[in-house]
Structure 1
Amino acid sequence: MATEIFGPYQVGPKVGEGDMGHVHQARDTRTDQVVALKILDQFDLRGKFDREAAMELIEFAASIQYERLHPILQVIESDADQGKLGIAMPVASGRSLWDHLKSGRSIPQKNAVQIIGAVAAALDFLHRQEVAHGAVKPSNVLLDRSGTATLTDLPMAHLRELGLRPAAPTELQQYYLLTEATYFSPPSMPDDVFALAVLAFHLLTGRLPFDDPRVEARGIPPEGGLPSLVHAVLLRGMTDNVHLRYESIAALMQDFKGAFRGKIDEQTEHWFLKETPPPPDSDELPPST
């Protein structure tokens, strides 16, 4: 950036980056409050219509409040920076989940399950408002010092719907994309179910489920030390067979919790305790609903 001021904020060091923009520590010159300021600088917002549409979308996202969603404090338009937008958020007292995973430190299973449950609760809340997140990945899960998780970046995938698109997704984002989706597809609830299953696998095994993020190169995720029932549930959560997918976050989580108690859904047990799921043209497939 050419200036250290963005709207009312004095911009400090960069603390994170993503495919849509960079996150800086910043100070509100009006109140001295320190915030995390995400500056959306990876696409062109010089058109007045684009800025107004983007601001309206982000302000709508800010109006959705829930304890497991990281709040948006303010949306800022900076004419001094070629019409760029900024999103001010509270500073997370801990780090992102991605920071933890990149460090190579393992997360105890109990903590991992709690994080998965927190993200699932946020997604279930959004889906009950008929809103998909569309950008579930470890870098968008923030942890406080006690390890409590919140989900952030709700507006980002929806901004892509407006045509505000960076050149390409990060590699991490590609691993979390539903099989038939693309980075530029509108966010959907099945996207979120798939991404939650990928996140759960990533957290519980310490590795991504696929060796290659490209859809055509994905294989069947290995057990990775998971209990066989948990592995079966996550395979179903990541399946490309639309007939066998979980219908909701709640359905995935019910089976996920049941797996730790030794009981999973009959379809999960029938199809996914086997080595491979059925092919799309299998005569045994249940009818589409």
Structure 2
Amino acid sequence: MADHVGQQLGNYRLVKLLGRGGFAEVYLAEHTRLGMKAAIKLLHTHLSSDETSTFQREARTIAELKHAHIVRVLDYDVQESTPFLVLDYASNGSLRQKHPSGRRLPLDLVVDYVNQIAGALLYAHERKIIHRDVKPENILLDEEGRLLLSDFGIATIAHSTSSMSTEAAIGTLAYMAPEQIQGKPRPASDQYALAVMVYHWLTGLLPFSGSSAELIAQHLGATVPSLCTKLPELPEEVEQVVLTALSKDPQQRFGSVQAFARALAAAQVSPAAFTEEQTIQVSKQALEAPTRQANPAAVAPTRANARDPHLLPSLRRWPKHKGMLDPLLTGDA
């Protein structure tokens, strides 16, 4: 594959290749007059005139996303039939680089990450935009360590400007919800992908692994391995929240990605259980750990969450809190 370092796209000169993915290459670029740095995402496709119009329409929609936890699109264009996006440059890399596979993260850090990502996703979902490829590689860090969700719509743009079937799955299989595998993504698909990341961060292992065919079969039909079996000190309430967000049926997940984030924060009943990042050895025994079926979501009731319409059914189902919910609902607590 050609390296485009030194090439000029619009007002930007490509300085350094930062990475390659299935849909695009990313370059560090410099504005030829202003000297400002940016990231250029060069898509792996050549467009016809009709496809150029589609790209510009999709890119304009993404560029309109303005949120504290979403990477800004500064510009977009097509040069010699090749589409590209100009993005804010996040100099601190991605969460994949910060936390390599096999690392367990402290629960309080995971809750903080989920709150930030969920805010960005909810903002997009309210505007009828589904990310479709939520994964650690697409979550960047700014100079203050704030999370920035990137690649909104990149997979969709590549899909819509190619000869792929409109029902083809878009995204990364390890994080892909069952309905997305079947070509029917929805906002709950992003919630599922975020829950896969939470599972990975907490246990150091992905819930499912194997070949593409094996991953598809597991996402569609296999029981999610128990988190508490891999991590006995994890509060059971946290496990139930994660397993709810990983439900095969999107209707059985939380009503919104924000409701998932709130439920996870509410279930954080024992933050001292593990507070330092740990490195683990991934063994065959760990991968084959016993599984158990998820019960209805377990969420500890608080005044803040008791009135949340998305959390209320889960709160009512959790027997440990029977008798505790009424004061929260009536405001007497």
TM over 0.5, shorter chain: yes
Write out per-residue CA displacement over residues 229-257 of structure 1, whole angstroms, 9 at most, x where no aligned residue.
11111111011134422221122122212
Measured at CA, do residues 233 and 118 of structure 1 come closer, stay the same or move farther in structure 2, by a change above 3 Å? same
Measured at CA, do residues 248 and 238 of structure 1 come closer, stay the same or move farther in structure 2, by a change above 3 Å? same
- 1:39 aligned to 2:42? yes
- Amino acid corresponding to residue 68 of structure 2 in structure 1: E
C-alpha separation in 1, matches of 2:188 and 2:250: 10
C-alpha separation in 2, matches of 1:35 and 1:130: 27
C-alpha separation in 2, matches of 1:20 and 1:196: 21
- Amino acid corresponding to residue 224 of structure 2 in structure 1: I
Q: Residue in 2 aligned with 1:280?
A: none
Measured at CA, do residues 205 and 269 of structure 1 come closer, stay the same or move farther in structure 2, by a change above 3 Å? farther
Q: How does 1:105-184 map to 2 (within 5 A)?
A: 106-160=104-158, 162-164=160-162, 173-182=172-181
CA contact (8 A) 2:101 2:205 kept: no
How big is the shift at 1:269? Answer: 7.7
Q: Residue in 1 aligned with 2:52?
A: 51
Q: Residue in 1 aligned with 2:13?
A: 10
Measured at CA, do residues 76 and 186 of structure 1 come closer, stay the same or move farther in structure 2, by a change above 3 Å? farther
Q: Residue in 1 aligned with 2:192?
A: 194
How big is the shift at 1:163? Answer: 4.7
Q: Residue in 2 aligned with 1:248?
A: 256
- Amino acid corresponding to residue 137 of structure 1 in structure 2: K
Write out per-residue CA displacement over residues 152-182 of structure 1, whole angstroms, 9 at most, x where no aligned residue.
1112133155253789989x81011111322
User: What are structure 1's unaligned runs of at least 5 residues?
Assistant: 274-289
CA contact (8 A) 1:115 1:148 kept: no
Q: 1:263 aligned to 300, 311, 314, which one?
A: 300
CA contact (8 A) 1:62 1:71 kept: yes
How big is the shift at 1:6? Answer: 3.4
Which deviates more from structure 2 when the two are superposed, residues 94-103 or residues 49-58?
94-103
Q: Residue in 1 aligned with 2:288?
A: none
Measured at CA, do residues 222 and 9 of structure 1 come closer, stay the same or move farther in structure 2, by a change above 3 Å? same
Q: Residue in 1 aligned with 2:79?
A: 78
How big is the shift at 1:33? Answer: 1.3
How big is the shift at 1:209? Answer: 1.6
SS in 1 for 2:267: helix
How big is the shift at 1:145? Answer: 4.0
Q: How does 1:15-34 map to 2 (within 5 A)?
A: 15-34=18-37
SS in 2 for 1:257: helix
How big is the shift at 1:186? Answer: 5.6
Measured at CA, do residues 266 and 75 of structure 1 come closer, stay the same or move farther in structure 2, by a change above 3 Å? closer
C-alpha separation in 1, matches of 2:131 and 2:25: 19
How big is the shift at 1:267? Answer: 5.7
Write out per-residue CA displacement over residues 95-126 of structure 1, whole angstroms, 9 at most, x where no aligned residue.
10111232655544332221111000001111
Rg (Cα) greater in structure: 2
CA contact (8 A) 2:179 2:189 kept: no
SS in 1 for 2:115: helix
TM-score (structure 1 length as normaliser): 0.81
Measured at CA, do residues 201 and 103 of structure 1 come closer, stay the same or move farther in structure 2, by a change above 3 Å? closer
How big is the shift at 1:127? Answer: 1.5
- Amino acid corresponding to residue 255 of structure 2 in structure 1: E
Measured at CA, do residues 198 and 90 of structure 1 come closer, stay the same or move farther in structure 2, by a change above 3 Å? same
User: What are structure 2's unaligned runs of at least 5 residues?
Assistant: 270-298, 302-310, 320-333
- Amino acid corresponding to residue 27 of structure 1 in structure 2: E
Measured at CA, do residues 197 and 104 of structure 1 come closer, stay the same or move farther in structure 2, by a change above 3 Å? closer
How big is the shift at 1:271? Answer: 8.5
CA contact (8 A) 2:25 2:42 kept: yes
C-alpha separation in 1, matches of 2:100 and 2:56: 33
- Let me know the Cα RMSD of the aligned residues: 2.9
How big is the shift at 1:87? Answer: 1.1
Percent of paired sites with the same residue: 24
